[in-house]
Amino acid sequence: MKKLPLSLLITAVLCGGLTACQSTSAPETFATAVTTVSADQQFASFSDQFIEAFWLVMPTYALYSGYHKYDATLEVPNAENRAATLAFVDTYQAKLSAFNPNGLSAAHLIDYRLLENLLASIRWDLTTFKGWQWDPSSYNVAGSFAQIINGNYAAEDERLRSALGRLTNVPAYYQAAKANIDHPTLEHTQLGILQNQGAFSVLNDELLTKVNTSGLTANEKQLFASRLTDAKAAITGYIDYLKSLESDLKQNGARSFRIGEALYEQKFAFDIQSGMTAKELYQKALADKAKVQTEMAKLTDQLWNKYFTQAKPADEKVAIRMMIDKLSLQHVSRDQFVDEVKKLMPKLVNFVETKDLVELDPNEPLVVRETPEYMRGFAGASVSAPGPYDKGANTYYNVTPLDGMSDESAESYLREYNHWMLQILNIHEAIPGHYTQLVYANKSPSLIKSIFGNGAMIEGWAVYGERMMLEEGYGDFEPELWLMYYKWNLRTICNTILDYSIQVKGMSHDEAIALMTQEAFQQTAEAEGKWRRATLSQVQLTSYYAGYRAIYDLRDELKAKQGKQFNLKQFHEQFLSYGSAPVMYIRQLMLK
């Protein structure tokens, strides 16, 4: 996961509500446009004003973005604060509507569209989607505390004082969470239990030891211990509440995790911003699935005699599966999984630099670490990047160790992330994938694009990077690597098919597993994990394919237009320079 998708961050932050004592109105210095000031200058001023006002009402979002002025504020997710959020949306939708978008330059027009989409999305999330009612997993304080405690943006004593202030509202936070929950899904209830149990890996005795050896005053240390005790009791109480709720839901029935076509299309429009409907993307994915399977059949035929003495089966999918299963036996041991990821990083850096594909910043560190416990249960690998205000902070590549898996599950997982697939995973998550893109995003001159990034562009770039690296010769055009790449790419395509089919068409668990294992050649453990992910999120799984296809098509269009003048590194760096904007808007800029 990269930076959290904007919709997930909005949900997480809105479930924290707003601080009632804070005004949602921005200074009125912008109220009247001055005719002697250009539209772009006016909009730049408005953008700065908007961001400052946004942090007032979204202090936890500010924290994740590296803006630490409000770190001590934990929002309580109650009705009063949801009303304050809507008042903020009303105010800034009115201010935004005062601009004529046709009078803005292309760069500012993208920012205008991003803000327009953001405000409408917040309103829709609160009033229509209402995840704050049926998703108990959206209530979890651990992540924000971990950002503060483990950060290096300020002296430790300063950060601990922020944590002390933030602890104040933890009991009220979870009390409001319990009051909000109404007919939730069983799946999100169970995730809420799991992830809140992980909160004790952050709020624990080790933290108290750090406080006691810090420079805080004796009174502060005593207050910290008291508030930490109350916070831990509140989390325990919430977990107990969810466990009781879980039993009731199992007995009496729960809300379906499937959101249906109408909500899905609306969420797709807000989250992806692709210019097409979810149904259109689904149909495009079906066609691409068939094309990729054809390429896989050709590679299997090429490799067959190298690995088998028996005749190749007439059924191409059976032969592809046999070849993949044979190659998948080559993998690291379970206890070396995280270490192997670390070893592969220098190889990727060297290839990118040797081929001169994109400039890598040696001053932006990438740290491979085991996924923190409070983040586990959703994805096996992810990137946590600093926000644009924390440009010197570490970017973490989170890799979940296989300690908690049975031998059977671990072996299945390792076959999925075999010798070749693990390399593609690292390209996607790290170099030149998410890590590289997010470093560039933080350097964008537009804070709007950096802060309110488009998930499809972010995921699409990582998927694009996989194919680009192989096209440029990574792996020396080894057919085994290309076969595994196509398997990986097929998973990207099938993510879209799977998500749409589950959420809109009612695909069952068995049908989903059959699609992933028989059509996309995934291992059972990976397929089960993807099923779980598709029941806990909506639309996000389509972002990979939507963004990848748009970027790749743009590159081909520019190649055709520029001919011999086309330069791949220049394309990459120009594309990344626009921040995490929707590809359809970047396309408009680059074609001009």
Q: Is 458 exposed, middle or buried (0-12, 13-18, 19+ CB in 10 A)?
A: buried
pLDDT of residue 3 exceeding 80:
no
Measured distance CA(172)–CA(174) in Å, rounded: 6
| pLDDT of the residue at 6 | 47
Measured distance CA(3)–CA(454) in Å, rounded: 10
Please tell me the pTM assigned to this model.
0.83
pLDDT of residue 23 exceeding 70:
no
pLDDT 10s digits, 291-322: 999 999 999 999 999 999 999 999 999 999 99
pLDDT of residue 19 exceeding 50:
no
| pLDDT of the residue at 475 | 96
| C-alpha torsion angle, residues 176, 178, 184, 185 (rounded to 10) | 110
| pLDDT of the residue at 31 | 40
- The pLDDT of 448-454, averaged and rounded, is 88
- The pLDDT of 203-229, averaged and rounded, is 97
Assign 118 a pLDDT band (cuts: 50, 70, 90). Answer: very high
pLDDT 10s digits, 512-538: 999 999 999 987 888 998 999 999 999
- The pLDDT of 128-134, averaged and rounded, is 98
Q: Which of the residue ranges 65-79, 225-239, 376-390, 413-427 would you say has the lowest mean pLDDT?
A: 376-390
Residue 22 is encoded by which pair of tokens? 């804070």
Q: Quickly list DSSP for 299-342.
A: HHHHHHHHH-SSPPPSSHHHHHHHHHHHHHT----GGGHHHHHH
pLDDT 10s digits, 475-490: 999 999 999 999 999 9
Q: How many other C-beta atoms can be found within 10 angstroms of the C-beta atom of residue 308?
A: 14
pLDDT of residue 15 exceeding 60:
no
Place of tokens 């790749």: 552
pLDDT of residue 579 exceeding 70:
yes
| pLDDT of the residue at 377 | 62
Place of tokens 């691409």: 288
Measured distance CA(465)–CA(550) in Å, rounded: 13
- The pLDDT of 545-560, averaged and rounded, is 95
- The pLDDT of 502-509, averaged and rounded, is 98
Measured distance CA(374)–CA(334) in Å, rounded: 22
Q: Among 337, 440, 459, which Cα is nearest to 398's?
A: 337
Give residues with Cβ within 8 angstroms of 328, minimum separation 6.
415, 416, 418, 421, 523
384: β partners:
396
| pLDDT of the residue at 29 | 41
Sign of CA dihedral 173, 178, 179, 185: positive
The maximal CA–CA distance of the chain, rounded, in angstroms, is 80
Assign 439 a pLDDT band (cuts: 50, 70, 90). Answer: confident
| pLDDT of the residue at 1 | 40
Question: What separation, in Å, do the N-terminal and C-terminal C-alpha atoms of the chain show?
Answer: 32
- The pLDDT of 419-444, averaged and rounded, is 91
pLDDT of residue 248 exceeding 90:
yes
> Mean pLDDT over all residues of the chain?
90
pLDDT of residue 374 exceeding 80:
no
| pLDDT of the residue at 18 | 34
Q: Quickly list DSSP for 166-206.
A: HHTTHHHHHHHHHHH--S-BHHHHHHHHHHHHGGGGTSSHH
Residue 509 is encoded by which pair of tokens? 């668990």
| Amino acid at site 361 | D
Measured distance CA(400)–CA(413) in Å, rounded: 11
Q: Among 322, 314, 317, 326, which Cα is nearest to 293's?
A: 317
